[in-house]
Amino acid sequence: MPSDQVNRVLANRPETLIIATQAEADLVEAAHSDPAAFGELYRRYVVRIYRYLYSHVGAADTAEDLTAQVFCAAWEGIADYKEQGNFAAWLFCIARNKTSDYFRRHRPSLPLDEATLLLPEEFDPQARLEQEEDLHRLAGLVAHLAPDQLELLRLRFAADLSFAQMATLLSRSEAAVKMSFYRLLEHLKSDWEKGDE
């Protein structure tokens, strides 16, 4: 079995998850006094935090600035953080607060999200047009969602948080978050299919 398959199998084992969670807890504890440990936490989360912030603000430079602010705030607050297995939720709570602060100050009206389309080796203009139409249609469906529904999508897809982490961040039960998320996906699927009729 190739090593990537072994890693995927092991990653799904409960004892592996416990070991990984404990390793992160040890790293968080070390980060209270060790900048190198905090640097490792930064490396683990910087891309996820950036994607989450970019999904809110839609501008790379603003998302970069906010990402820096999040990690500065985390560094300043790490000494007071008490590890309870919720470091990701704590970090994303800081990111949400920085986003709220940004929108209070700027109140921008964001254009429809622009998706990055990679050109395939064999460019097909018709397929590209259909793909762009589908993306605009999906963006239209997403634009009509309530802010709490958009946040569920951002936390799951942009931030790549687990349902447990989302539940901690949103102060809801994991079951309630899962149910809301899957109902939202069903709602989007239903709206999409209505548009096909």
Integer-rounded Cα Rg, in Å, for the chain is: 19
**Residue closest to 45 by CA, chosen among 15, 78, 14:** 78
Token pair of 127, please? Answer: 């397929």
Query: What 3-state class would DSSP assign to 32?
Result: coil
* Cα(26)–Cα(109) distance, integer angstroms: 42
Classify domain 1-109 at the CATH class level.
mainly alpha
DSSP string, 154-188: IIIIIS---HHHHHHHHTS-HHHHHHHHHHHHHHH
* 46 contacts 93 by C-beta, under 8 angstroms: no
Per-residue pLDDT of the chain (197 residues; tens, 9 = 90+): 344 443 444 444 444 434 445 688 888 888 888 889 899 999 999 999 999 999 888 889 999 999 999 999 999 999 888 877 788 999 999 999 999 999 888 864 444 444 344 444 565 667 767 777 877 788 888 888 899 998 998 998 888 889 999 999 999 999 999 999 999 999 988 888 887 66
pTM of the model: 0.65
Under 8 Å CB-to-CB from 125, ≥6 apart: which residues?
Answer: none
